[in-house]
Amino acid sequence: MCGLNPFVFFFFLMVAAAAVSADVAILRTDYYQKTCPDFNKIVREAVTAKQVQQPTTAAGTLRLFFHDCFLEGCDGSVLIATNSFNKAERDDDLNDSLPGDAFDIVTRIKTALELACPGVVSCADILAQATRDLVTMVGGPYFDVKLGRKDGLESKAHKVRGNVPMANQTVHDIHGMFKKNGFSLREMVALSGAHTIGFSHCKEFSDRLYGSKADREINPKFATALKELCKNHTVDDTIAAFNDVMTPGKFDNMYFKNLKRGLGLLASDHILIKDNSTRPFVDLYATDEKAFFEDFARAMEKLGTVGVKGDAEGEVRRRCDHFNNLNV
């Protein structure tokens, strides 16, 4: 540095900083304060109307957000529709039960925002903000949503498997996916508490109910009710059960209380109470809802920063289900 003019050095620093900021998304809660001042209001009004109309929207949107962030980061890639050039993430078998209401609320918000401030707000940010607003609407904790994500330029169905947890996996395997995205075991259990709302289709847990390999650890009365509910699931694959049979529409800690009673719906739920490494967190959250809410809120803030895209590796889509370059 000896002999370098300090003004020249400062100039180089500014150029370097500008280059970095173009490549890396710098997220802020007030990102749209000047460019789209009604952003918060538009999102809040849209999710309120949709949730009242369709009460499963909150759970579906939360699940959609998780599936988006765990593959290629929180970049709206799960929103892309398949076309003749590309089979997109949402059409992989593991994503075929992602609910239409979750896609619909993003589309509604995007339409309203394009009228108010065209070409400004990314679909990835819409999904993140809508998820938070919906979680709080159904009783969940408030958490900050930092904004400024750009929409990704890739969505490949073949990349889904191995990046999204499956109901029949072990704690070790599931935590492996969380760990590579920066989450601890405790954070994994806290995020699993999202199953306090929503539902799962019978095909995701039917192997726990029937035949010689039926899970004998399910609460017997619960198992009987599920068998009756799912008896025609091979004919009608839309049949589903609530993840939390006690308070299915309320975001609370009942999911963890249910696990201790043999009322976990999915094998991946039940295993959290069986595994010695995760049981202490289940016990904690079952007895202390405040601890669950605090951990869930922090984990959601962290989830929203996974793999975010900056200007150099993303765009603001005109439509959430299509790349701006339709040939991609």
73 appears as a binding residue in the annotation: yes
38 appears as a binding residue in the annotation: no
196 appears as a binding residue in the annotation: yes
165 appears as a binding residue in the annotation: yes
89 appears as a binding residue in the annotation: yes
Longest dimension (CA), the chain: 82
155 appears as a binding residue in the annotation: no
What are all long-range contacts of 35-40, with beta carbons under 8 Å and residues at least 24 apart?
35/117, 35/120, 36/113, 36/116, 36/117, 36/120, 36/121, 38/116, 38/117, 39/113, 39/117, 39/121, 39/129, 39/147, 40/129
195 appears as a binding residue in the annotation: yes
For residue 270, indicate whether it is catalytic: no
Residues paired with 200 in a beta bridge: 241
- Token duo for residue 119: 């070409």
268 appears as a binding residue in the annotation: no
Catalytic-role residue among 67, 175, 233, 270: 67
Exposed, middle or buried, 274 (CB in 10 Å: 0-12/13-18/19+)?
A: middle
294 appears as a binding residue in the annotation: no
Name the 3-class secondary structure at 309: strand
Residues 6+ apart with CB under 8 A from 16: none
Alpha carbon of residue 220 to chain centroid: 32
101 appears as a binding residue in the annotation: no
Name the 3-class secondary structure at 195: helix
93 appears as a binding residue in the annotation: no
Q: Tokens 């963890």 identify what position?
A: 256
Q: Cβ(198)–Cβ(60) under 8 Å?
A: yes
Amino acid at 44: R
Annotated binding site: 68, 73, 75, 77, 89, 165, 195-196, 244, 247, 252
Q: Which residues are catalytic?
A: 67
Annotated binding site for heme b: 195
Annotated binding site for Ca(2+): 68, 73, 75, 77, 89, 196, 244, 247, 252
Annotated binding site for substrate: 165
